[in-house]
Amino acid sequence: MVTVYDVAQACGLSIASVSRALNGQVGVSQATAERILRTADELGYQRNEVARSLVAKSTQTIALLVPDITNPFFPELVKGVQSVADENDLLLLLLDAPTDAETLRPRLAALRRKQVDGILLVASALDDDMAHLFGDTPAVLLDRGHSGVHATVGVDQEAAGYDATRHLLAAGHIRIGHIAGPAELSVAHARRAGWRRALEEAGLPAGEELVASGDFEEEGGHRAGQELLDRVPDLTAVFAANDLSAIGFLALCAERSIRVPDEMSVIGIDGIELARYTTPALTTIAQPIRELGAAACRSLLAQIDADSSVPDVTLPTVLMPGASVRARGGSR
């Protein structure tokens, strides 16, 4: 095995100089450090990451916890985080984000024992007394936040629900159902609040009979859609809280020979790539998914470097027109 001694011999330098260069410390010129690193690579020297971590007081590792990696939203989010981790030579640990606090607690504790430099969490299960769970490990909440715990990077969820519903109202629809997200998620409540605000501003009823709860997956969209259509047969439009729920509802409409958009307009939220390839293509309120991941990672790195809290970051959504919404009465 090639050691620091071998590298020092090959460079004709002291072990101390070579160690400083290999650990990115000051005390050697840039040219000398580059010569040392080049020689180390040529000899096949493998840095001892544990030793380096102890010296640098950094593991160069961050953790990202996301729920449901079967939902295309999250792999896109991971790509955004990964792009910034790569720019900063960081190892990214990807873990499942549990939806219950009892599973989340030990997972965060294990990451702290591993001395990760920071944690990014899509927080489905945070409650008020969980701030301490992160200890002194820098953390940023991503997409699903929790006020007062850590900075959150996401979109204005209530506005996204409002904009989706406004788009249907602008098309002349007045009987607009809502397939809500999971009842335990704050993002679901926020989007439903946006739906309600848009209807109330238009002087339209926004009663419980117009809402059915999904699970942010296709199956839940299909099931909640059945509930809605059986309960309120005069709906001419549905706002689904995320694209997968909308896709499940599109499948239900096809099964029931309900023509979209001629007889039923449908809009979602997320802007996942799959939404472009449904029949008809899904109109949706697109989140800047990859940018959210990148911005969250940058916020975390800023917090690590500054050793202080960082502000929330809210990125804009944008309407992604498809072919699933049509003006009531059939005209385009």
CB of 273 vs ligand RIB, minimal distance in Å: 13
CA distance to 87, 218, 305, per residue, from 84 (Å)? 5, 31, 15
- Of 20-79, binders to ligand RIB (CB under 6 A) are 71, 73
| The CA-based dihedral angle spanning residues 248, 254, 257, 260, taken in that order and rounded to the nearest 10 degrees | 80
Largest CA distance in the chain: 85
Question: Toward ligand RIB, which CB reaches closer, 242 or 303?
Answer: 242
Contact 296, 263 (CB under 8 A): no
Q: Which is nearer to ligand RIB, 97 or 300 (CB)?
A: 97
Position 278 contacts ligand RIB (CB under 6 A): no
CB closer to ligand RIB out of 40 and 246 = 246
C-alpha span between 61 and 50 (Å, rounded):
12
Nearby residues of 205 by Cβ (< 8 Å), 6 or more positions away:
199
In the bound complex, which residue of the shown chain has the CB atom lying closest to ligand RIB? 242
**Least distance from C-beta 120 to ligand RIB, angstroms?**
14
Encoded amino acid at 309, one letter: S
Cβ 4 to ligand RIB shortest distance, Å: 47
37: its two tokens: 């690193």
- How far, in Å, CA of 179 to CA of 189, rounded? 12
Q: How many residues bind ligand RIB (CB under 6 A)?
A: 10
**What is the pattern of x (binds ligand RIB, CB under 6 A) and - over residues 191-220?**
-------------------------x----
In the complex, the smallest distance separating the C-beta of residue 254 from ligand RIB, rounded to whole angstroms, is 21
Q: Which of residues 126-155 bind ligand RIB (CB under 6 A)?
A: 143-144
**Which one of residues 121, 125, 171, 187 is an interface residue with ligand RIB (CB under 6 A)?**
187
Residue with tokens 């697109």: 286
227-246 residues near ligand RIB, rule: CB under 6 A: 242, 244
Exposure class string for 268-286: b at 16+ Cβ within 10 A, else e = bbbbbeebeebebebbbbb
Query: Least separation, in Å, of the C-beta of 171 and ligand RIB?
Result: 22
Query: Alpha-carbon distance 261 to 87, whole Å?
Result: 44
Strands of 118-121's sheet, edge to edge?
91-96, 61-66, 118-121, 139-142, 152-155, 313-315
Torsion of CA 322, 327, 330, 332, to 10 degrees: -60
Q: What's the Rg (C-alpha) of the chain?
A: 25
State the DSSP code for 273.
Answer: G
Cβ closest to ligand RIB, residue 144 vs residue 173: 144
Min. distance of Cβ 154 from ligand RIB in angstroms?
7
Q: Pick between residue 73 and residue 134 the one whose CB is nearest to ligand RIB.
A: 73
Per rule CB under 6 A, is residue 269 in the interface with ligand RIB? yes
State CA 315 to chain mean position distance: 12
Site for ligand RIB in 75-134 (CB under 6 A): none
By beta-carbon proximity to ligand RIB, the closer residue of 20 and 166 is 166
Q: Is the CB of 33 or the CB of 155 nearer to ligand RIB?
A: 155
Where does this chain bind ligand RIB (CB under 6 A)?
Answer: 71, 73, 143-144, 187, 216, 242, 244, 269-270
